[in-house]
Structure 1
Amino acid sequence: MNDVTTFVEFIDQWAWIGWLVLIAAFLVIEMLSLDFTFLMLSFGAAVGLITDLVGIPVWAQVIIAAAAAGLFILFIRPPLLRRLHRGEDPTKSNVDALIDLRGLAQQEITQVSGQVKLSNGDTWTARTASPVAIPAGAAIAVTAIHGATAIVRPVND
C-alpha cells in the first residue's frame, strides 16, 4: 500500500509536466493538420494544467480537461472554421469545374471509348456510364472524371 501511495503522490507532484507535454504534442499535430481540432485539445490540456496549479486532484484534472476540450470543440471550433473559410473563392476549379460542363461528341461514345469537345475548348477521351451509345455530334454533359477520361451523358436541350 505504501508503494501505491508513493506512486500516486509522484503522479500528483509531476502532473504539470504531463500537461505541458500534451499541450506541446497537440500543438505540433495541429500545425500539421490545420483543422483546429488539436488546437482545442491543447486548450483543454491548458485547462488541465491550470487545474493542477490550483491543486485539484489528478482524476478531477483529467475530467475537467476532457470536458473543457469537448466544449471548445463544440462551441469555439465551428465559428473559427467559418471565419477561416469566409473569404474562400467559391469558384470550382480543376476536375470539379468540369462536372456538368456541356460539350459535343466528336466520335461515337460507348462504355469503352469515345471523344468529346467540351464548351471550355478542351478535348477529352470519353465513356458513357450507360450501355446506350451516344452518336457523334450529340450534345453531352460531363457527369464524372476518372483519370483522363470524362464520363458523359446525353443532353436533350
Structure 2
Amino acid sequence: MSALLWFIAALVLAAAELLGAEFVLLMVAGGALGGAATAALLPDNHWLPFVVFAVITVLLVVVVRPPLLRHLNRQEPPQLGMRRIIGAPATVLAPVDEHRGEVKVHGEVWSARTYASEPILDAGAEVTVTEVRGATVYVRGESHG
C-alpha cells in the first residue's frame, strides 16, 4: 500500500470520527498516519507499514484514548427540570414568610416560602433557592448562604 493510500485512509477515518466522537476511529487514523510515514520513508518494504499501523493504533487506543475520554467527560451533566434552580439566586417580589410569598427565579415567578426559623424576607431582597416542593420554592436570605 503506497504512502498516499495510507494518508487517504487516515483522512477518511478522521472524517468518519466526526460522526461518532468516540475517538476510536481517530486513533486508527493516527495509526494510518504512522503507516503512511513508514510507507513514504521505506517504499520498498511492503509489510512494515502494516506493523507500524497496528502498533500505533493499539498504543493510541490503550494509552491515549482513556485519559482523553476522562478529560472530556469530567464536567457534570447539566441539571434538568426543577433541580436546575436549586442554589439559584432569586429576587423577592412579594414578602416571603413560612406561609406565602413570591420570588423571581431565572425570569419566572414562583410561589415561595421560608423555613419556620427564617425571618420574613422583604420585596427586593436577594435570596437563594434551597428546595423545590411542587410549584413552591423554599428560599433563604443571602446572609444565610
TM-score normalised over the length of structure 2:
0.51
Q: CA, structure 1 residues 120+35, in 2 after alignment: closer, same or farther (shift >3 Å)?
A: farther
How big is the shift at 1:90? 7.4
Taking structure 1 as the reference length, what is the TM-score of the superposition? 0.48
Structure 1 residue 71, shift from structure 2 partner: 0.8
One-letter amino acid matched to 1:60: L
Identity of aligned residues (%): 29
| 1:65 paired residue among 53, 62, 65 | 53
Structure 1 stretches of 4+ moved >4 Å = none
Q: CA RMSD in A?
A: 2.2
Equivalent of residue 38 in structure 1, options 25, 31, 50: 25
Q: Distance in 2 between matches of 1:46 and 1:120?
A: 57
Measured in 1, the distance between the counterparts of 2:133 and 2:61 equals: 43
Name the amino acid aligned to 1:62.
F
Deviation by residue 1:71-115 (Cα, 9 ceiling, x = unmatched): 100000000000000123275x58xxxxxxxxxxxxxxxxxxxxx
Q: CA deviation at 1:55?
A: 0.8
Distance (Å, rounded) in 2 between the aligned partners of 1:75 and 1:86:
18
1:153 corresponds to: none
Give the length in aligned residue pairs: 84
Structure 1 residue 47: deviation in Å? 0.5
Report which of the two has the higher share of helix.
1
Q: Is 1:22 matched with 2:9?
A: yes
Q: Does 1:81 align with 2:69?
A: yes
Identify unmatched segments of 5+ residues in structure 2. Answer: 82-131, 135-145
Any gaps of 5 or more consecutive residues in structure 1? 1-10, 95-118, 122-157
Q: Distance in 2 between matches of 1:17 and 1:73?
A: 24
Shift of 1:21: 1.6
**What secondary structure does 1:58 align onto?**
coil
In structure 2, the CA distance between the partners of 1:60 and 1:86, relative to structure 1 (3 Å rule), is same
CA positional deviation for 1:67: 1.2
CA distance in 2, matches of 1:34, 1:40: 11
Q: How many angstroms apart in 1 are the aligned matches of 2:133 and 2:56?
A: 51
